[in-house]
Structures are given as C-alpha cells and as structure tokens.
Amino acid sequence: MKKRNKTIYRVLCLTALAFITAACSEVVDLKTENEEGALVVYGRITNGTLGNEISLSRSTRSGLPPRAVSGASIELLGNQGNSGRYIEGEEGTYIFDGSLIGVPGQAYHVRIQLADGTVYESVPEIMPELSARDTLKYVLQEIEEISNQGVATSRFVISIFADTEILDPRPDLFLKWDIEEVYSFQQAFLPMHNFPFYTRNTCYVKEELEQQRVLLYDGSQLRANSISDQRVVDRTIDDDFRGVHYFNYIQQSLTTGAYNFWQGLDRNVNRVGSIFDQPPGALSTNLFNVNDPSEDVLGYFEATAADTVRLKITNAIVDRFFPVPCVSPPEVDFARFMCFRCIERLFEPECLDCLLIPKSTLNRPVYFD
C-alpha cells in the first residue's frame, strides 16, 4: 500500500503541478507493479479564455515522467445544456475550443473517451463566485543566505507582496493563487543588404514562479476581511529585467473538492522539506471510469473562477544596468548573402531564433507594452 501511495503521489506531482506550477524536478524509480499504470488527468474550465486545458497521461513502471496520452476525445458539459470540446495541441495536452465561457453558479464536468473506447467522467462542479480582490506591491532589497556548505552569500531581489480584500468572508470560501512573470527578448539585428529575408523577432517568455509552494486560503480556518503583506516571491534581479517585466498574480476561487486536492498535494510536497522523506497521504479526485468505478483514476478536473492582477516593473524601477544582448559584431556586415551558417558562431543560438528560449512565444500579450 505504501508503494502504491508513493506511486500515485509521484505521478500527480509530475503531471498536475507540471501543468500549472511544476513542483517536482527529481525523478525516482518507484518500481510500480503496473506497466502502464493509472490514468492521470488534470484540467480546468474558468470564467475566462486563458488556462482552459486538460493534460492526460499514464504513469510508467520505471518512475519516469508520465507518458502522454494522445487521441482522446474530450467534451465539456454544462448543466444548462451547453457544451464544448478540448482539442489536442501538443501530445497529451488538450486546449478548450472557446465555444463557451464558464459562468459562476453553473455546474460543469468533462467526459473523456480514450482511443481504445474507455470512457471517464468527472463529478460535476459548480463554479464558485469571485469573492476577493488582490493588489500587488514590491520591495527592492538585498537578502543574505547560507549555502549547504555554510558559505554566506547575498543577492539583490525584488520581493513581491500581496494584499487581499475578502469581499465575502464565508466559511466555504477557498482560494488559490499562482504567480508568473512575463518579459521580452529581442533577436539580433542583421543588416538588410546581407539578410533581406531575416525577421528580427521579439519573443515573450512566461515563467511560473514559486513552483514548490501552493498558496491557499481556507475561509473556515481564517475568518478575516483581509490578508495583508502576504509574501509571494523573492525574484533575483538579473538581465531579464533589462526591459519591461510583468508579474501576474492569478487568483482562483475553488470548490471544496478542488481545495482538498491542492491542500493534499501541498502538504505532501512540503511536509518535511523533501517529497521523498515520508510516504504521502491520500489525494482526492473527482474522476472515475464510467464502466469500472473501482479503477484508480488520478488527478482532478476543476471549475474555477479566476482573476488576475499585474505588476509592471521597468528597468528604471530596478535601477540596474544590463548590457543589450545579441549585439551584432562588424563581421556580420561582410557575411555572404543569407549565409546564416557563416555567422552562427558570432551569436548565442537564441539571438537568431528566440523561440529556442523555453516557454517563449511570438504572441505579444495584450497587456504588454
């Protein structure tokens, strides 16, 4: 039983948190008995157009990251007779088609049919109302740390804090927050006479922060009208701050079931400082095999109302000088016509193709300036 619990927890840590907050980084062989293992589902529908995705995977007996499940048909069903579909993008990741927007007070569930015909469903969840309002603030400071070797070090950081006003302090109010950063990176300039078909792209990089911690609020435990000075993240100041830098603080109103899922995951990750020090406890799920309810299905599908506040940080605020990346040396002017091979050695790879940067895109966020 302990071995099975560790397997279940490991799969969820690699799948659910990888989808939103990627809490786990190590890989351990837990020697599970099943070659294919359990189906792992994580996904959600929100009251907006972003973040409506589902990931499907199966655990592996080697303990490696779960294997993506492709070829599934996924339908979202609402209690008002409305419906939509999740369409597969990257392998094992299904993106909602946007045919409806989630409405607080209405119930939603998903029906998943795998390529082999097996059907799974989630228990319907009523999307909660938004009941809190956040504001962000920052402090620039130098913090000191002691390494594992006992060496004192210091780093200059921007510390992000949140104040939250609870608009409806009821006992069944459950909240979760995520923090992410967004910044830009511009490719190298190449002279038009030598590289007329080259496009100097600007990429936008989005990174999730505080991946080891799940920020939660339980209204039954803390009956407050506000939460002040909640420390969200300490972000080291580096050359990512050479231009405009955004911090996005995403609040989600959760159902009781979704809160129990995230609370259990957070406790198992952070109970002793290492996710492998003690066997984890049981994690809740709202998914089941329609024809075999006894089958273990892992993960959660949630209906959540989400709201985002943003903090814009400019280089003038940080007050640190960072050299412009990807400066073109004089040799570029004398390169052969459209000969990228001739100049590759003069640049870092991302200076000629910024999409090589992890989690980058050419799609400019609508709020970015």
> In this structure, is residue 262 part of a structural domain?
yes
What is the tens place of the pLDDT at every residue in 173-199?
Answer: 999 999 999 999 999 999 999 999 999
> In this structure, is residue 220 part of a structural domain?
no
- Distance between CA atoms of residues 26 and 192, nearest Å: 46
- How many domains does the chain divide into? 1
The sign one gets for the Cα dihedral 87, 89, 94, 100 is negative
Q: pLDDT class for 266, splitting at 50, 70, 90?
A: confident
> In this structure, is residue 225 part of a structural domain?
no
Distances (CA, A) of 206 to 7, 290, 317, 360: 30, 37, 20, 7
> In this structure, is residue 369 part of a structural domain?
no
> In this structure, is residue 10 part of a structural domain?
yes
> In this structure, is residue 218 part of a structural domain?
no
Q: Which two tokens stand for residue 166?
A: 């609870």
CB neighbour class for 169 (10 Å; exposed up to 12, middle 13-18, buried from 19) = middle
Please give the pLDDT value at position 22.
34
Q: pLDDT class for 82, splitting at 50, 70, 90?
A: very high
* DSSP reduced 3-state for 29: coil
> In this structure, is residue 316 part of a structural domain?
no
What is the tens place of the pLDDT at every residue in 310-358?
Answer: 999 999 999 999 998 999 999 999 999 989 999 999 999 999 999 999 9
Measured in Å, how far apart are the chain's first and last C-alpha atoms?
A: 53
The whole-model pTM stands at 0.83
Mean pLDDT value across the chain: 86
- Distance between CA atoms of residues 180 and 117, nearest Å: 38
Asked if 253 and 305 touch (Cβ cutoff 8 Å), the reply is: yes
Strand-pair partners of 218: 174
> In this structure, is residue 66 part of a structural domain?
yes
Q: Please give the residue range of the domain that contains residue 282.
A: 2-129+253-305
CB neighbour class for 128 (10 Å; exposed up to 12, middle 13-18, buried from 19) = buried
What is the tens place of the pLDDT at every residue in 11-40?
Answer: 455 444 444 433 333 322 323 334 458 899
Do the strands 360-361 and 226-236 form a parallel or antiparallel pair, or are they unpaired?
unpaired
